[in-house]
Structure 1
Amino acid sequence: MPFQALRSGNITLHLITEANADEVLDMFAVFPDADELLKEIKENYLPEYEDEQRTQYGFYTTVGDKLAGLSLLSVDSFNERRGSTGADTLLHMRGKGIAPMSKPHLFYLGFELLGLNRIETGCLVSNISSKRSIEKTAGFQFEGIMRESGLNDKGDLEDQYLFSILRKDWQKIYYSVKVEVIH
Structure 2
Amino acid sequence: MKNTNLKSNRITLRLIKPSDLAAIHLLHSLPKVDEFNTLGIPENIQETQAVIQSWIAEHELDEIKNYTFAIEHIQTKEFIGLFGLKLWNKKNRRGEVWYKIHPDYWRKGFATESVNLVLDFGFETLNLHRIQAGCAVDNIGSIKVLEKVGMIREGRGRQTLPLKNGWSDNFEYSILETDERKK
Percent of residue pairs bearing the same amino acid type: 28
Within the alignment, does 1:63 sit opposite 2:59 as a pair?
no
Supply the AA of the counterpart residue of 1:54.
I
2:167 counterpart letter in structure 1 = L
User: What's the offset of the Cα at 1:132?
Assistant: 2.2
| Deviation of the 1:152 alpha carbon | 1.3
1:145 is matched with which residue: 133, 156, 159? 156
CA RMSD in angstroms comes to 3.0
Report which of the two has the higher share of helix: 2
For residues 90-131 of structure 1, the C-alpha deviation after alignment (integer angstroms, 9 at most, x for no partner) is: 021111121111112111221111111000011111222222
Q: Any conservation in 2 of the 1:45–1:56 contact (CA below 8 Å)?
A: no
Residue 36 of structure 1, CA deviation: 4.1
Q: Match of 1:164?
A: 174
Aligned match of 1:8: 8
Tell me the distance in 2 between the aligned counterparts of 1:41 and 1:143.
34
Q: CA deviation at 1:46?
A: 1.3
d(CA) in 2 for partners of 1:96, 1:90: 11
Contact 2:21 2:49 in 1 (8 A): no
> Counterpart in 1 of 2:30?
33
CA distances 1:138-159 after superposition (whole Å, capped 9, x unpaired): x2111111122221123x3321
Tell me which of 121, 127, 148 is aligned to 1:109.
Answer: 121
SS in 1 for 2:51: helix
Q: Is the 8 A contact 1:45 1:57 kept in 2?
A: no
Question: 1:42 and 2:39 equivalent?
Answer: no
Letter in 2 for 1:146: G
Alpha-carbon distance in 2 for matches of 1:95, 1:41 = 30
Give the 3-state SS of the residue equivalent to 1:71 in structure 2: strand
Name the counterpart of 1:180.
none
Select 1:82's aligned residue among 81, 85, 94.
94
Q: State the TM-score, normalizing by the size of structure 2.
A: 0.77
CA distance in 2, matches of 1:113, 1:53: 14
* Residues in 2 aligned to 1:41 and 1:94: alpha-carbon distance in whole angstroms: 27
* Cα distance in 1, alignment partners of residues 91 and 10 from structure 2: 34
Q: Report how many residues are paired.
A: 166
Matched ranges for 1:128-139 at <5 A = 128-137=140-149, 139=150
Runs (5+) with no aligned partner, structure 2: 32-39
Q: Summarize the alignment of residues 108-127 of structure 1 with structure 2, pairs less than 5 Å apart.
A: 108-127=120-139
Shift in Å, 1:25: 0.9
Structure with the higher strand share, 1 or 2:
1
